[in-house]
Amino acid sequence: MTNPILSDWNTPFEIAPFATISDDDFTPALEQAMQVHDAEIDAIAANQDTPTFANTIEALEAAGEQMDKVLSVFFTVAGADSNPKREELQRAFSPKLAAHYSRISSNKSLFQRVADLWDRRDELGLTDEQARVLMLSHRGFVRAGAALTGDDDARMQELKARLASLGTSFTQNLLADERDWFMELAEEDVQGLPGFVVDTARAAGQEKGADEPVVTLSRSLIVPFLQFSPRRDLREKAYRAWTARGANGGETDNREIATEILKLREERAKLLGYDSFAEYKLETEMARTPDRVRDLLMQVWEPAIKRADADADELTQMMQEDGINGPLEAWDWRYYAEKRRKAEHDLDEAALKPYLQLDRMIEASFACANRLFGLEFAPLDVPLYHPDCRAWEVTRNGEHVAVFIGDYFARGSKRSGAWCSAMRGQAKFPKVQAPVVINVCNFAKGDPALLSYDDARTLFHEFGHALHQMLSNVTYESISGTSVARDFVELPSQLYEHWLEVPEVLAEFATHADTGEPIPQEMLKKVLKAANFDQGFQTVEYVASALVDLAFHDGAAPADPMDKQAEVLAEIGMPSAIGMRHATPHFAHVFAGDGYSSGYYSYMWSEVMDADAFAAFEEAGGAFDPERAKSLEDNILSTGGSREAEDLYLAFRGRLPGVEALLKGRGLIAA
């Protein structure tokens, strides 16, 4: 019987046939796919013909189709709908995959062919895109250790395998802590909570099999609980559990894992001739050096801490007026900030939330994409990996562009956070293929589902990533979509958030869940006026995490990351009432894999550009200016990694921005 993962996918738009795939299919599918991929690689490496772009680089691009099918399905369900079997498979697959890809990157015959092409690159008559793919391929081999020999080569393979296993363990430990903890609430404990928080807590209780409403460690529930619960004792208990993820002792404790990861990363960088892992990692990013990253972060830190300190004084006074003496604590900040927002802006999130229906915000994100890029979205009725998922066909001028899948609701089987991934990337070689793109979020379920303003911003953010994938128009998949520098990849997503704040968008799509009435003009004005509220807090918690990440990797690996974290926070004067957005034991961006390691700063680097890029629209014909939209698509969204990120931005804007636009956008300096 043919394995359904490896068979032809005779489904609409060749979407993975989730309904016919079982967990038992993954292991045999992966084993067969690896064997096929190994044979493809061996054939390229053993080719006795003179290396050409076609018989080497394009052959590499064409190899691994079965691997792509297996891994796209497996990692989609493992991240968004895990179970004990899938967690077991992740642990088993992780070292196997690391070894598999290490065999490719350390294949000396293969590397020699790529190096030969690189040496003769000026004689090959390559297109600009082909020259870019060759450069990235050669650089990737070198940075992966292909030029290493003997013991160094063997040690590099060991490091890769061990790091892959540690990253998987870190992720699964975090998921276990998030899944297993919850706090039951008696009827008196929900007094003072808005109805939407109580409804979410009751739904969470049903999922956990509890008779009472519960608070879980899902951000979509714990944050509003910390915002609205008048019970300081319960806020403290919930906050301490939230910030203790990965640091509870026992089998799910991540602290020793983080220590080992940092040591192995340092060793890996030094094997490749770098002084630190940060130098190695940042070499290929826009920032280039740790000093440039630190300089940006500190330029933002100074005005942010000044604002946060002033805000802390205000919140402390409010707390004392409630008869609570002593310092403002981290579990107090969101509660008193919410009261202050209501007092200063007359904006009550409980009153706002019915206007931010999930379905209407999805419509809003689609409508903006239609006005900007001419995209249209039609629902698709296809089996997906979970009943909560939805799919749409994306077209333009009647032509198929992509399939978009949305998986929006929090559940115990889904890791925390929000992300975008492509189950299939755009390409024209070796065959034309349209992308299949997924947005995964963790919003609270409801009937109808209602979002906070931050949730709505997250939805637009992830859809910005999706547009980067869907509008990609390059030849080779290795440089399509979001295959760009890490500190550039957040530009399209963070830029797209700005359209949520366009008054005409909210005026049309922010409609009341019960009455259908559009958001009142007065409330709309308050929402937009309060958009920068509490930016001192939000900026400080983010920049602190980015500075700790950089410190972990810029220099010798710390003997104890928790001590290093404390040292960095003390040096920068971190307020005790603000926690890091991601403390070390649950800093999945940095420790679940290499993706954002030494690179968490990249959100801020991209924000410098996104503030400036949206200003380009405002300076032209407004948020939906057609010429600016076309330039954005032509120079950034369609180009993938076909050119250096800096060149792409210069082509769109004509210059590189300074940090002032970001500071003004966050309201940290006067506009």
Query: Which domains are assigned to the chain?
Result: 12-105+107-147 (1.20.1050.40), 181-245 (no CATH), 251-347+535-600 (1.10.1370.10), 354-529+603-665 (1.10.1370.40)
In single-letter form, the type of residue at position 554 comes to: D
Of residues 47, 242, 299, 169, the one with CA closest to residue 591 = 169
Of residues 609, 613, 658, 612, the one with CA closest to residue 632 = 613
Token duo for residue 78: 């493992």
Would you say 228 and 238 are in contact if contact means Cβ atoms under 8 Å apart? Answer: no
Would you say 573 and 257 are in contact if contact means Cβ atoms under 8 Å apart? Answer: no
Largest CA distance in the chain: 83
- With tokens 């079997």, the residue in question is 85
- The beta-carbon contacts of 508-511 under 8 Å, at least 24 apart in sequence, are 508/364, 508/367, 509/360, 509/361, 509/363, 509/364, 509/367, 510/355, 510/356, 510/360, 511/355, 511/357, 511/360
Would you say 21 and 389 are in contact if contact means Cβ atoms under 8 Å apart? Answer: no
Q: What is the mean pLDDT of each successive set of 10 residues along the chain, which is 671 residues long?
A: 93 96 98 98 98 98 97 98 96 95 96 98 98 98 96 96 96 95 96 94 93 94 96 98 97 98 98 98 96 97 97 98 96 97 90 96 98 98 97 98 97 93 98 98 93 96 98 98 97 98 96 97 92 95 98 98 98 97 97 95 95 94 97 98 97 94 89 69
What residues are labeled active site?
Answer: 462
Would you say 559 and 268 are in contact if contact means Cβ atoms under 8 Å apart? Answer: no
- pLDDT at residue 168 in the model: 96
Would you say 495 and 463 are in contact if contact means Cβ atoms under 8 Å apart? Answer: no
In single-letter form, the type of residue at position 561 comes to: P
Instruction: For 22-178, list the strands marked E by DSSP.
Output: none
Helix (H) or strand (E) holding 403: strand 399-409
Which alpha helices (H) appear in 347-428, and where do they start and end? Answer: 349-352, 358-373
What does the alpha-carbon distance between residue 159 and residue 161 come to, in Å, rounded to a whole number?
Answer: 6
Give the contacts of 28 (CB within 8 A, at least 6 positions apart): 3
- pLDDT at residue 665 in the model: 86
Would you say 451 and 353 are in contact if contact means Cβ atoms under 8 Å apart? Answer: yes
- With tokens 């309060």, the residue in question is 530
Q: 601 by DSSP, 3-state: which?
A: coil
- pLDDT at residue 41 in the model: 98
- Dihedral of CA atoms 356, 358, 359, 361 in degrees, nearest 10, equals 60
Q: 518 by DSSP, 3-state: which?
A: strand
Token duo for residue 293: 């990253």
In angstroms, what is the C-alpha Rg of the chain? 25
What does the alpha-carbon distance between residue 489 and residue 545 come to, in Å, rounded to a whole number?
Answer: 19
Q: 612 by DSSP, 3-state: which?
A: helix
Would you say 15 and 9 are in contact if contact means Cβ atoms under 8 Å apart? Answer: yes
Q: 283 by DSSP, 3-state: which?
A: coil
Instruction: For 207-357, list the strands marked E by DSSP.
Output: 214-216
Beta bridge partners of 183: 215
- pLDDT at residue 661 in the model: 85
Would you say 308 and 540 are in contact if contact means Cβ atoms under 8 Å apart? Answer: yes
Using the 8-state DSSP alphabet, how is residue 450 labeled? B
- For residue 125, which phi and psi values (nearest 5 degrees)? 65, 40
Q: How far is CA 181 from CA 184, 241, 580, in A?
A: 10, 8, 21
What does the alpha-carbon distance between residue 332 and residue 326 come to, in Å, rounded to a whole number?
Answer: 12
Token duo for residue 472: 């990609």
Would you say 220 and 412 are in contact if contact means Cβ atoms under 8 Å apart? Answer: no
Beta bridge partners of 450: 357
What does the alpha-carbon distance between residue 351 and residue 347 come to, in Å, rounded to a whole number?
Answer: 8
Q: How far is CA 515 from CA 93, 198, 355, 422, 448, in A?
A: 51, 21, 10, 37, 13
What does the alpha-carbon distance between residue 332 and residue 330 come to, in Å, rounded to a whole number?
Answer: 5
Q: 419 by DSSP, 3-state: which?
A: strand
- pLDDT at residue 670 in the model: 82
Q: How far is CA 102 from CA 266, 586, 594, 642, in A?
A: 18, 28, 15, 25
CA 155 centroid distance within chain: 31
Using the 8-state DSSP alphabet, how is residue 623 labeled? T
Using the 8-state DSSP alphabet, how is residue 444 labeled? P
Q: Which residues of 638-662 are buried (b: 16+ CB within 10 A; e: fewer)?
A: bbbbbbebeebbeebbeeebebebb
- pLDDT at residue 16 in the model: 97
Q: 377 by DSSP, 3-state: which?
A: strand
CA 334 centroid distance within chain: 24
What does the alpha-carbon distance between residue 634 and residue 646 come to, in Å, rounded to a whole number?
Answer: 15
In single-letter form, the type of residue at position 450 comes to: L
Torsion sign, CA atoms 349, 355, 361, 367: negative
The model's pTM: 0.94
- With tokens 């870019």, the residue in question is 132
What is the DSSP annotation of 208-240?
Answer: HT-SS-EEES-HHHHHHHHHH---HHHHHHHHH
